[in-house]
Amino acid sequence: MRTPSLSLRRGPQSGFTIVELMTVIVIVGVLAAVAIPSLRDILINQRLAATASDLVSTLNIARMEAIKQSQTVKVTPVTSDWNKGWAISTTSGSTTTTLRTYEKLDPSVVRDTSLGDGFSNAVTYDPNGFARDATTGKFGGNGCLTFKADTKRRMSVIISASGRPRSCDPDKTGDCGSGDCNSTG
């Protein structure tokens, strides 16, 4: 039996030319250049949402601890700056006990001082779980704290008169954009 020679087996070659490969590389590069800034904005907006969610969780924990321990619990910013983090503490007599501290904010998210009063730099919960104004000690809504991302998106945290915190979008009509934050800021 005879084996065909190499020259007889040769048919059309399959594969990509250098021009085709370069075209694909250019297309992938253009798509990546468009997608990367968009992905960055998504990540920054996610950090903003996580920051607001962390503060709401902190306030819920403080409220729960105030009720559980039947004593006043306070949420205060670290060194009077919410950007540097915050802490939950109780005071019994002359002893202040820090229950939990939270880390500083990501540099892409900061407190927006143009909207809201920043809870007058503290949130105080009484033993019944009601929020009190940190400076006057009066019952009622405790104000608003707003965070702003590098993407210009904002999220606010509001405390109701009963002491329940919630987050909202101050730039969205019908959420808290025409209400709580704007009236205190």
Tens digits of residue pLDDT in 147-177: 999 999 999 998 887 889 999 888 886 667 5
Query: Phi and psi (nearest 5°) for 162?
Result: -80, -10
Which helix (H) or strand (E) segment holds residue 67: the answer is helix 18-69
Quote the pTM value: 0.76
Distance, CA of 51 to CA of 161 (rounded, Å): 22
- pLDDT number for residue 9: 57
- pLDDT number for residue 115: 82
- pLDDT number for residue 160: 83
- pLDDT number for residue 142: 60
Domain residue limits, the chain: 19-184
* Residue 55 tokens, joined: 């503060």
**Which residues sit opposite 91 in a β-bridge?**
96
Q: Which residues of the chain have pLDDT under 50?
A: 183-185
Q: What is the DSSP-derived secondary structure letter of residue 139?
A: B
* Residue 29 tokens, joined: 């590069």
- pLDDT number for residue 114: 84
19-184 CATH choice from 3.55.40.10, 3.40.50.150, 3.40.50.1110, 1.10.10.10: 3.55.40.10
